[in-house]
Structure formats: C-alpha cells, structure tokens
Chains A and B, each alone.
Chain A
Amino acid sequence: MATSLRAFSFAGLCGVLSNVNNTADNTTNSDWVGRSMQRVEDPTLLRGLGRFADDLPTPPHACHVAFLRSPLAHGEIRAIDTAAAAAMPGVVAVITGPELKAHSTPFITGVKVDAPQYALAMDRVRYVGEPVAMVVARDRYLAEDALEAIAVDYQPLPPIIDPERAVDATPLHPGTEGNVLHDRRFRYGDPETAFADAAHVVEATYSYPRNSCTPIECFCVIADYDPGLDAFEITANFQGPYTLHTIMARSLKVPGNRMRLKTPPSSGGSFGVKQAVFPYVVALGVAARIAGRPVKWLEDRLEHLTAATSSTNRVTNIRAALDQQGRILALDYDQLEDCGAFLRAPEPATIYRMHGNMTGAYGIENLAIHNRVVVTNKTPTGLMRGFGGPQIYFPLERLMDKAAARLGLDPLELRRRNLVPGGAMPYRTAPGALLDSGDYARSIDCAVNEGGLAELQARRDAARAEGRLYGIGYSVVVEPSISNMGYITTLLTPEQRERSGPKNGALATATVAFDPSGAISVAVSSVPQGQGHRTVLAQVVADVFQMDPLEVAVATEHDTAKDPWTIASGNYASRFAGAVAGATHTAAVRLRERLTVIAAADLNVPPEDVAYGNGRIFATGNPDNSVPLGRSAAKAHWSPLSIPDAAGAGLRETAFWNMPELAEPDEGDRINSSGAYGFIFDFCGVEIDPVTCAVRIDKYVTMHDAGRLLNPMLANGQIRGGFAQGLGAALLEELSYAPDGSFQTGTLADYLAPTVMEVPELTILHDQSPSPFTPLGAKGLGEGNCMSTPVCIANAVADAIGGEVTTLPLTPSRLADFLLPDEPASSAPAIAPLIAPKILDGHALQGQGGTVVPAMPDEVWAILLDEQKLAAVIPGCHALEMTGENAYRADVTLGVGPVKGRFVATVALQDLQPPYALRLVGGASGPLGTSQGEGHVTLRETAGGTKVEYSYTVAISGKVAAVGGRMMDGAARALINQFFKRLVSQVDDAVAAPGLWARLLSWLGLGR
C-alpha cells in the first residue's frame, strides 16, 4: 500500500496522472474506479470457502481417471497390454489410443501440417509424459494401482531435444518433410540497405529456456456424456481462450452447442497455463463416453511439471544496424522457436503475439524477421504469462547493452535515443502495431528521478571500488494487451489469408441486469484466476449507478450453454482491464440509460434531468424528488406495462465490445497484434557473491504506464506477481531436459519457484497515459514484468561480471562457469584410465570401476555366459529367459534404499572375446521409468584372481529421472556395484573359497 501511494504522489508530481475523461460517458464521476478498494473475493477465500474445481460435487457414480504416461522422449509403441489392469479392483475401463481414436479427431492446428495430435499417443510417443492410456476407476488410488499393471512395449527412437539440431534431424512426424513446421520471412522498410549503410552492426545469439508459471492448483476436468443428445457436459478450470472451445468440440466430433463447458467459481491460478487443459477436456469427454458415466481427473504435480505445458524455448540470432549517433536503423531477427512435440493450438502463437511490436519501445523503420518453428521431443508449449515477450525482449534488450558498449554510450542513453517520441502517439510501428498512448521518455525520466538511479550508480561505483561484483541493468519494454484474434494469421502468406478469409477483432462481452428485488448483477466471460475481476467490475458498475460496489454482485463462473461469450472470451493476453471492464462499463451505461427513462417517469421530469447518487435516483433540479434506485429498476419486472415504452422490456443489457483498430494483417504483413500497449522501464542493481556466485538483487525499480489504473492495489499486486515470476525465470526456474530427452524437474524441489526468501523488495512507479482506444482508458499490466524482469536482471548480471549472458536462468553454477578461475588439479595421483566406453548419444550417466574376483578369467567368463548363473548375478532377478543367442529377458526388482521398482530388463552379450572381454547392451522398463545402456567388461588375470574392469553409459528416463535427478548418478553406481557384489558372491559359491568375501567387499569400494 505504501508503495502504491508513493507511486501515485510521484505520478502526480510528474504531471502524468492524467484526467481520465475519454470514457464513453463523461457524466459519470469516478468515485470507485481508480481506488484501491479491498477485494470482494477475499472474505470467502480467506475462510477456505472458495469453490475450486476439485471442490465441486460430483455424482456418486462418477469415476476417476489416471493417465499412463510415456517414460521416453521418443519411441514407437509396439504393443500395449491392458488386460491385467482392466481386471483390477474398481477398474471400469482402460482406454488406449486406438479406442480414443474411435471417438475423436486430431486437434486442429494453426499451421496445416500432417502432424496429428490426439488426446492420447497413437503409435508413437514424442515426449516424456505424453499420455498413452487412461484408467477409469472408482477412485484415484485404484486408478493409479491399475496404471502399474499396464505393460507397454516401446521401441526407443533417438530423441531430438536441441532445436538447432532438430532442424536437420529425422522428422518426428512421418507426414512432415522435416522438423521445421513453419518458416516465414518478413521484411518491413528496407533493412538490407540499412545494414549496408550502417556505421555499426552488432549481433548476438541468445537462447531463452523453458519455464512455467506453475499455478499451485493443477488441472481439473469433470466430464459427462449424454448419448441421448450426443452431447458433452464438461467442467474444467480452463481459462480460455475460447477459440479452443471450437477445437475441443471438433475433436469430440460434436458441434459447439453440444459441448457445454463450465468453469468453477474459483481458480487456483493460471497465468496462461490452464489454456493447456484443453486436450484433457477431450480425453475426459471420450473417457466419459466409453465408461458410460461421469469421470473426473485431477492432475498431480508430477504430471503438471512434466507434461502440462511450457513456455517455448527459443534461439534468436539478432542483429542491429546503427548510425554513428547510436540510432538504430534496422533490426534483424532470426528466431528458431521450439514448440515441443506438436504445434498444439494456439501455437505457434508465442512467436506471433509480439509481431506488431517487435521493434520494442523504439522507433525503428526497417525490420527483418525470419521465423522458424521446430518440433522436438519435449512437452508441447502454450500460453504463459508474458507470452512471447521474454523471448523477444531477452535478445533485444541484451543487444541494446551490447550496442551501447560498442558505441561507448551509456546503455540508458542509447535507449533514450531510440525511443518512440512521446508526441508521436498513436504511433504505427514498422510491423504494424498502433502504439496507443504514452510518453516513454517522460516515464523513464520520472523513474530515474523517483527510483533513485543516481544513488544506485553511486552504490555500484563504491562497490566496485572495493572489488565487488556489482552491476546495473535496464530494460525498456512495450507490453501488449488485448490480442487481435487475427494476429496468428500473420503466419499465413497474404495469398493464404485471402483464401481462408479474414480473422480479426477481440470481441468482449458483459451482461448487467437488475432482478425483481431491484438488485444489480454482472456476468462476464473473463474466467479470472485470482486477479480480482469481481472487485473491479463492482467498482466500474458502482460508478455508473453511483452506488455502493458491495451491492453489485459479480459472477465470473461461466457456462457456454447459457452465458454470453465470444471466441475471444477468457483470461489471457491481459484483456480484462481494457476489454472486459470496458464492455461491462458499456453494458452498464446502456442499462442506466433505460433505467433513467423509467425513473424519469417516476420523478415526473425529463430523462436529461435525472441523476444518480447514493443508491437513489433523483431530479437534478430538486434532489428531494427521488426514488430508491432499486424501486425503479424492480418496476421493469413487476409492472412492465406501466413503464415507458422507450425503456424497453427487461432490464438486462449484454454488451459486445469490439476494437475497430484490430484489423486483420494487411497485404504487407503489417498487423496491429494487440489493442493496447503499455510501457515499462525497469532498472536494478545486483551483486554477485564472490564465494558462491549467487546473484543478490540489491534494488529493483519498475515503472509502468498502463493507462488508467482501475484499482491501484490490484494493479500493484499484478506487478508484484509478474515480477516474482520474472525473477524466477531470470535466476531459478527451468523445465530442464537431459540430452537423452529425459525430463529432470518433476517436483517443486527441482523446479524452483521463488519462495519469500528469494523475492526482494520492489519499488513500483506508475505513469498513466490513458488509452484512447479502450472504454475506460485502461490497458493490461499483469504480464509486463515477465517480459522486462528476466532481461533487466540478465543485463545487470552481465554488467557485474563484465561478460556476456546468453541464456537463463542465471544459476550460481552457470555463473561459476564464467567467473571461476582455472581449477587446481588434485595432487593425488590420477586413477589409471580404463577402457573408454563408447558414449551413446546423449547418455547422461557414465562411469567406470573395477574389482578383483577370486577366480580365473575363464571361470568368471563361464558365470557370465551361463543362463542360470547370470540370473543370480543380475540384481533382484526373479526370472530370466533366453530370447536369442546370448540375449536374455529378465523380470527384476531394482532399487536403491527404499526406492524399489519392478522392471522388465533385456540384456545382450555382444562382441565376445572369451574369456577377456565382452559388451553388455540392454535396458529396463517399468512403472518407475526406463533405462538403456551399455557396458564394457574386461577380465584380466591378476594376483588373487581376475581383475574385472568395467565402464558404462546409461540413460535413465521417466518418473525416477524426473523426481530424482540429483541422485541418478549415484543410483547407477549403486546398481552396478550390486551387480559386481553378486558376481563375486557367485564366484565364491562356484569356487567355494569362503573367507575372501570380506576382502573382496573392500575392493568394491574402489569400484565407486
């Protein structure tokens, strides 16, 4: 609160707290809008009485669904055996790809390619966590029991994880020619000439990682199917966009009016993420249809982190052409976008959402963009707070620092020289955005003064004088809000767009109504996930009717069968403040006009002499001549024949609000991709710990101009939340994959969301340049810090270390790679190298060791080649069968400590050089995951028996890798040691030489 008050007084000092008078109705006094009103949502939530998806009642015969998921990044499904699972207690159905396919079609995609995605994998898995089968059972516990009984025979295929390698790799989808599923070049102005004439060209390549906002509530879907109507009724904590409603209905093979989609009253956060619940809506719809009863699925955290969704990871080569003075003549982006295994809708939207504002906050006339979108063996991507923003601002704003260094300019000065001038608004950028309002230079000046940049610079100088690693970073960002429904069609050529017809607009809707008691209600299709929409809409409507906002009831749960909605409905692209609050205002004003007609008759004055105040309607000339607002409103219900015809019937107004500025892309591929554009200027000071290389944020200032603020407290709450997530992306968070495609961050102990200890104080400042294009002058602001903060911190870190930062997150270990001096070697003698293992592509774990076995090499050899004895050597072997010459299949229990799992293992002995050397090739597969590996074993006669030396490489994937990454290396070693312990034990038995046991065990210690 203190911050918001300070910010406001400052904004006033700067003379930028403009009088917001561009609303549709200028007779309304802004009594509530603009105030930090406490939230109407809170008293319920604080009592634990919010109704979240998993709190809603389900019918007694409803069943629970659990998903069997791929442990492999890439593999062919050769067979699935569900018989044992189907026979387990409480199991109602087990559904695999082919069964699902009978009732659904692939999801429609924006890019027309033959890479079909269904809600379950068909003949191939393409990412760890991809759903392979569904169990429908009486409860979730039983469903998970049955998952363990499903046997899937996978043929592993080489995984493709690195997007740059994906470009030329074997296609993931047999129907496509390569893995680049979209490739388009754009050119605005004359970038070639600008680069040719430039005094300076700076260039760099940056890589933005995968991360996720990970709401604390996971996905939830409840589905039922009515065969009588061939209709689905589904409740899900879906957040929109409702473009996906069409996709879900199509996939379920019903028209939209037979897929009724409801959202619960409360949602436990989304940040874009819950867009990606849509494939599960289809899966559960099919499950309900097959099982013949209602079904429910609640995603767990491991499922969520592994397979829900992700931001795109992107590799960007960016170039800037500058003149002598540091003005940017042209920008050239070469973007390689990794959308994971499928271009799941609305992808490849991440790369196009920013298209109109790819020049950032700068006035740059010439622009070249090359967009390529590849598929890799990773989770499909989707909406994520900041959508597309961090992926362009990380390279753009890093490059600004690099350019400043090249020209010997202060990084902030270089930015200032290139800003879109304040007087130029509204300003059309080269790629087509219509920047609606703002005075960027003014906002920066205010922030520099109010935020204390000079003091921070002095602090940096002092720290550096002491030899400390201290740096300052800046970022300047344009934050788009209210997405143009047509921006995604920028990916099509003008000719393709011509053929498919225009897509445009961003239609918003709201309904305001009086009931017979004279009370007022608002309903919207904004599907909030914690932002406080109900509070803000109560404020908006209270102002229109000059009443207490607590008397305005706002419903935000939504039902596509009964409530107004549009294709643009939903909670995304920061569209609430501009579009939804605006539509609500429009509906309320229309309703008031009609109520005014009724009240004028009651008061016996002309409508233009009617005014509102304190919940009453009165005559402006004689305030004593008044009626309670509710009494006039109730008349529309109780005595419709007695009110003037001009009031119309039924006091309910549903407004649809559109933005004429949001046209489809033009023939030059110019697109106004968003309806409003806020401005952000951030700066921060960081210090790197000289011992641990950890980054400490010393001070962080963020300046926002999001137009008119509807509720400053909530606005600041959005900024703080976005900042914490941006900070996480900068320093902590990554959905990480090993080169072998295994997923490594399956728990919240591995995927590191910031806690209260990691989030520093934040200074928030506001400028307010109302948007001329939204009804209330408001713009979105909740996503901005996910765009501005990662690069601001990266710039500060680069400044501190005096080096380049090309990827995130900036973990201490990563910074150590840059900062640490050459490492001293150990003074202990190096262990003599053993035979070098052939490193299989991308295998994460390698090791080697040796032991002495009290037998001659041929005796040891005999054990390894003997089926019965081998069975005794393999740890936890229950049964071993020979499947070919020197090839075996075994049923084993493997584990370390309390972690144990049943696996089917295959082992083949190859390259036999009896009795001196052989190669072991094999793998294991079970509920805990899969592994593949190979080892080389050599036998050498030595004093006391045979020296057995081994080396191995192993790849481990699936659950155990996702949740136990930090222990995989040790686990592999422990299992190898178990093998050799047993080998020694077998030899002991075979040569009957007791007493050696203790000595040999001590040798095993060397094997580590």
Chain B
Amino acid sequence: MKPAAFDYACPDNLDEALALLAEKGEAARICAGGQSLGAMMNMRLANPAALIDIAGLAELKTIAVVDGAIEVGAAVTQAELLSWPELVDRQPLLAQALPWVGHYQTRQRGTVCGSLAHSDPSSELPLALALLRGEVILQSRKSRRVVGAADFQTGMMATALAADEMIVGARFPITKAGEASAFLEVAQRHGDFAIVAVAAIGDQQGARLGVGGVADTPGVIELGWPVNDTALNDFAWSLGGADDQHATARYRRELVRRLGRRALEEVHDALS
C-alpha cells in the first residue's frame, strides 16, 4: 500500500500555489492535511501527478469573523478550529460537530476546508456547512468566487471546484440571537464514518434539519414547530439511502426519523 509517484510542491505563498495549480490543472491535487487524500493515495485509488501542499501557508491559517460568518482558512486544522476560544459563542453547532470528525490524531492534521473539498457523504463538516447555509471561497489565478454549500457539493466526493481552483476558505455563518442547535451521530464505533449524522438549528419560528451519511450529499429541510412526523418521514425517504455492509437503507431512514426528531427536540428544548 504505497502511493504512486508524484511531484511534491510546497509553495511559499498562495499566489505560487494558484499559479502552479493553473499550470498543472486536473493532474494536481491540493493537499492540506491529507488525512483522506493520503489514505486514498496509499491505496492508489487516487493518483495525482502532483501534490500542492498548502498546509504551511500562513495566509490560509486564519480564523476570523467576517461579514457575519466564521471564515476559516484552508490551512486551519479541525483541531485548531475546535480549540478556537470563540467557537462555542460564535457557532455552537461547529463545536458540537467537530469532536465527531475522525480522531484526536487526524484532527491535528486534517483541515476544515479539506474535509469540505473531499465531500465524503458521511462526513460532518459538509453537513454543518450545508445546514448553516455556509459558503466556500474558491480561488484560481484568475478569479475568486464564493459558492453556497448547496451549489458547492455536487455529488458524492464531487464539488463545483474547477480544475484550476482551490478552496481558500469556508464561511460558517455565526449563530444569531435566539438560535439553538444540536448534532447527533450514529456510527458503530467512536470516530467511524457516520451511518447517519443529523444536525439541527432553529429558533422560535422553526428549524432546519440536515442529514449526512444517507444521500450522496447532505440533505437539509426546513420545518416549523411542532415537529411534523410526516415531513420527517418524507424527508427520510427522499434521501434515497442504499444498503451497505454496515446498515440497511431502512435502518438509515429510521435513524433519520428518530435522530431527526431527537435533534429537533433538543433544539426546541434549548429554545424554551
């Protein structure tokens, strides 16, 4: 289990990284923490001709609140965001979701944006981004654009990234007054890919519920109070999960209904 040969580039700044990406295009992959990409490369499921390592780029190592969102640079690790002192106040949902991402050791290398770029259907951060209606900031040598979560995640491990683009940051909207959130996950072991993960956020008017681990990308619906079981059930069916060796589609739908309800109830309880 050894990776195929690749060029390794360690640019000194973002401009260098973008120029190289423009030159190499699809043959190159951006590598930040490499906790998913590295494993895939070791198994030779992914064989990029070049890796562009952005982990050391200081300009991407920032966490800041910008225009009502926590803007997380592409070199910020999951552990760094988790230990950011303002996190719980600014967006408790992220503080609830991040401990579910991998393990202590992988969170210290794995980045927040890398997880979004990987877009694994079971992973927690794409779910959080989708639920919060966050955005990713994509940059190429020529342009910079901000894309909403729903448009960014186009399918299983597929995103709207163009060949010459990289994620330079992600924007997670900060919590508003009167909002509460919940995050629940079922996996067979601590730290495994979620069989089902649910995230909910809401206020007195209503709530949004997001589900990961079932469809190719996170699914999100809006619901009012009280929790409507028919809507939850229709949502569970609409995600169209499949059987795999760990769980049946029917079990996944049941978890969507049950955990969905529980998460919404937690939000509701926190509001009152």
A contacting B, Cβ–Cβ less than 8 Å: yes
A residues near B (Cβ < 8 Å) are 140-141, 144-145, 148, 300-303, 691-694, 732, 734, 736, 738, 744-745, 749-750, 752, 754-755, 757-758, 811-813, 816-817, 820, 823-828, 845, 896-901, 927-928, 959-960, 963-971, 973-974, 977, 1008
Q: Tell me if B177 counts as interface (CB < 8 A to partner A).
A: no
Question: What is the bound-complex CA distance between A757 and B192, given in angstroms?
Answer: 12
Known pairs A898-B48, A899-B45, A900-B46; A736 contacts B245 (CB<8 A): yes
For residue B67, give the distance in angstroms from its CB to the closest CB of chain A: 30
A752 to B240, CA, bound (A): 25
| Given A691-B258, A974-B158, A813:B247 Cβ within 8 A | yes
A691-B262, A898-B157 known; A744 and B45 CB under 8 Å?
Answer: no
Q: In the bound complex, do residue A974 and residue B155 qualify as a contact, i.e. CB atoms below 8 Å apart?
A: yes
**Cross-chain contact A898 with B44 (CB below 8 angstroms):** no
List chain A residues, Cβ under 8 A from B29.
898
B189 cross-chain contacts in A, Cβ below 8 A: 732, 752, 754-755, 757-758
Taking the closest CB of chain B, its distance from the CB of A499, in whole angstroms, is 46
Q: What are 15 A-B interface contacts by the 8 Å CB criterion? A: A148-B4, A732-B188, A755-B190, A811-B247, A813-B246, A816-B254, A817-B248, A826-B233, A827-B230, A896-B157, A897-B157, A898-B37, A969-B242, A969-B243, A971-B156
Whether A827 touches B156, Cβ cut-off 8 Å, given contacts A752-B188, A898-B48, is no
SS class, residues of chain B in contact with chain A:
loop
Q: Is B142 part of the contact surface with A, judged by Cβ < 8 Å? A: no
Please give the residue numbers on chain B whose beta carbons come within 8 Å of chain A beta carbons, in ascending order: 1-5, 29, 37, 40, 43-48, 118-119, 121-122, 155-159, 186, 188-193, 195, 216, 229-230, 233-234, 236-238, 240, 242-248, 250-251, 253-255, 258-259, 262
Contact, CB under 8 Å: A758 / B237: no
Which residues from B are CB-within-8-Å of A302?
1, 43
Give the shortest distance, in Å, between B199 (CB) and chain A (any CB): 17
B244, A749: Cβ atoms closer than 8 Å: no
- Do B5 and A963 touch (CB < 8 A)? no
Which chain B residue shows the least CB distance to A139? B2
Which chain B positions have C-beta within 8 A of A732? 188-189
A878 to chain B, nearest CB (A): 15
Contacts of B122 in A (CB 8 A): 966
Give the contacting residue for B254; candidates A303, A820, A900, A977; CB below 8 A.
Answer: A820
**Neighbouring B residues of A927 by C-beta, 8 Å:** 44
Contact (Cβ within 8 A) B45 A964 = yes
Given A752-B192, A966-B244, A966-B246, the answer on whether A826 and B262 have CB atoms closer than 8 Å is no
B190 lies within 8 A of A144 (CB): no
Residues of B within 8 A of A744 (CB): 244-245
Q: Among the listed A745, A820, A959, which residue makes an inter-chain contact with B45, where contact means beta carbons less than 8 Å apart? A: A959
Min CB gap A648→B, angstroms: 55
Chain A proximity of B50: nearest CB distance (Å): 13
A579 to B178, CA, bound (A): 71
Chain B residues near A965 (CB-CB < 8 A)? 244-245
A817→B250 CA distance, assembly (Å): 8
How far, in Å, is B107 (CB) from chain A's closest CB?
Answer: 16
Give Cα distance in the complex from A692 to B158, angstroms: 30
When C-beta atoms are compared, the residue in chain A nearest to B122 turns out to be: A966
CA distance A900 to B47 in the complex (A): 7
Q: Is the CB of A827 within 8 A of B234?
A: yes
Q: How far is the CB of A695 from chain B (nearest CB, A)?
A: 11
Q: Which residue among A734, A811, A977 has the maximum number of chain B CB atoms within 10 Å of its CB?
A: A811
* Cα distance, A180 to B128, chains bound together (Å): 53
Q: How distant is B26 from chain A, measured CB to nearest CB, in Å?
A: 9
Q: How far, in whole Å, are A964 and B40 apart by their CA atoms in the complex?
A: 10
The reply to whether B190 and A967 form a contact with Cβ atoms under 8 Å apart is: no
The closest CB in chain B to the CB of A744 belongs to B245
Q: Which residues of A contact B155 (CB under 8 A)?
A: 896, 970, 974, 977
Residue of B whose beta carbon sits closest to that of A691? B258
List the 4 closest pairs (A to B, CB-CB), nearest first.
A897-B157, A826-B237, A969-B242, A300-B1
Given contacts A749-B193, A896-B157, A971-B156, whether A828 and B237 have CB atoms under 8 Å apart is: yes
A749 to B233 CA separation, bound complex (whole angstroms): 30
Q: A826-B234, A928-B45 are in contact. Are A301 and B188 (CB under 8 A)?
A: no
Q: How far, in angstroms, from A846 to B129 measured CA to CA in the complex? A: 31
* Residues in chain A near residue B195, CB distance under 8 A: 812-813
B248 contacts A813, CB within 8 Å?
yes
Please, which residues of chain B bring their CB within 8 A of the CB of A141? 2-3, 5
Contacts of A693 in B (CB 8 A): 251
B45 near A901 with CB under 8 A, answer: yes
A819 to chain B, nearest CB (A): 10
Select which of B5, B157, B191, B236 is within 8 A of A967 by beta carbon: B157
A139 to chain B, nearest CB (A): 9
- B248 surroundings in chain A (CB, below 8 A): 813, 816-817
Find B238's partner among A750, A755, A826, A971 (CB 8 Å cutoff): A826
A827, B157: Cβ atoms under 8 Å?
no
Known interface pairs A754-B189, A970-B156, A974-B155. Does A960 touch B1 (Cβ–Cβ under 8 Å)? no
Known: A140-B2, A966-B122. A896 touches B245 (CB 8 A): no
Q: What would 5 more interface pairs be, CB under 8 Å, given A823-B253, A897-B159?
A: A744-B245, A754-B189, A755-B190, A974-B216, A977-B155
Chain B residues within an 8 Å CB radius of A812: 186, 188, 195, 247, 251
Note all chain B residues with C-beta closer than 8 A to A960: 45
Determine the residue in chain A with the shortest Cβ distance to B1.
Answer: A300
A970-B242 CB under 8 A given contacts A144-B2, A692-B255, A826-B234: yes
B169 to chain A, nearest CB (A): 20
Verify B192–A745 contact, CB threshold 8 A. no
Q: How far is the CA of A145 from the CA of B5 in the complex (A)?
A: 8
In the bound complex, residues from chain B placing their C-beta under 8 Å from that of A1008 are 216, 240
Q: Nearest-CB distance from B161 to chain A (Å)?
A: 10
Give A963 to B251 CA distance when docked, in angstroms: 22
Looking at A144, A750, A823, A970, the one whose CB has the most chain B CB atoms below 10 A away is A970
- Expressed in whole angstroms, the Cα–Cα distance for A303 and B2 within the complex equals 12
Least CB distance from A749 to B in Å reads 6
Which residues of chain B have C-beta atoms less than 8 A from A691's C-beta?
258-259, 262
Most buried by A among B5, B121, B247: B247
Q: Which residues of B contact A140 (CB under 8 A)?
A: 2
A849 to chain B, nearest CB (A): 11
Select which of B46, B233, B246, B250 is within 8 A of A898 by beta carbon: B46
Cα–Cα, bound, A754→B132 (Å): 33
A970 near B216: Cβ-Cβ < 8 Å: yes
B223 CB → nearest A CB, Å: 14
In the complex, the answer to whether A692 meets B186 with C-beta atoms within 8 Å is yes
Q: In the complex, A969→B155 CA distance in Å? A: 12
Closest to A815 in B: B251
CA distance A849 to B192 in the complex (A): 32
Find out whether the CB atom of A898 lies under 8 angstroms from the CB atom of B1: no
Residue of B nearest to A821 (CB): B254
A303 (CB) vs chain B CBs: closest residue: B1
CB closest chain-A residue, reference B186: A692
Find A755's partner among B46, B191, B240 (CB 8 Å cutoff).
B191
Q: For residue B118, which residues in chain A have a CB less than 8 angstroms away from its CB?
A: 897-898
Minimum Cβ distance to chain B for residue A348 (Å): 27
Q: In the complex, which residue of chain B has the Cβ closest to the Cβ of A758? A: B189
Query: With contacts A811-B246, A816-B251 known, is A899 near B40, CB below 8 A?
Result: yes
- Quote the shortest CB–CB distance from A488 to chain B (angstroms): 33
**Chain A: CB-nearest residue to B253:** A823
CA distance A755 to B102 in the complex (A): 13
A823 to B244, CA, bound (A): 19
> For residue A758, which residues in chain B have a CB less than 8 angstroms away from its CB?
189-190
Contacts of B234 in A (CB 8 A): 826-828
Interface centre among A694, A732, A969 (most CB of B within 10 A): A969
Residues of B within 8 A of A148 (CB): 4, 44
**CA–CA, A745 to B248, complex, Å?**
16
The answer for the CA separation of A590 and B138 in the assembled complex, in Å, is 79
- How many whole Å from B210's CB to the nearest CB in chain A? 18
Given contacts A301-B1, A897-B157, contact A824 B216 (CB under 8 A): no
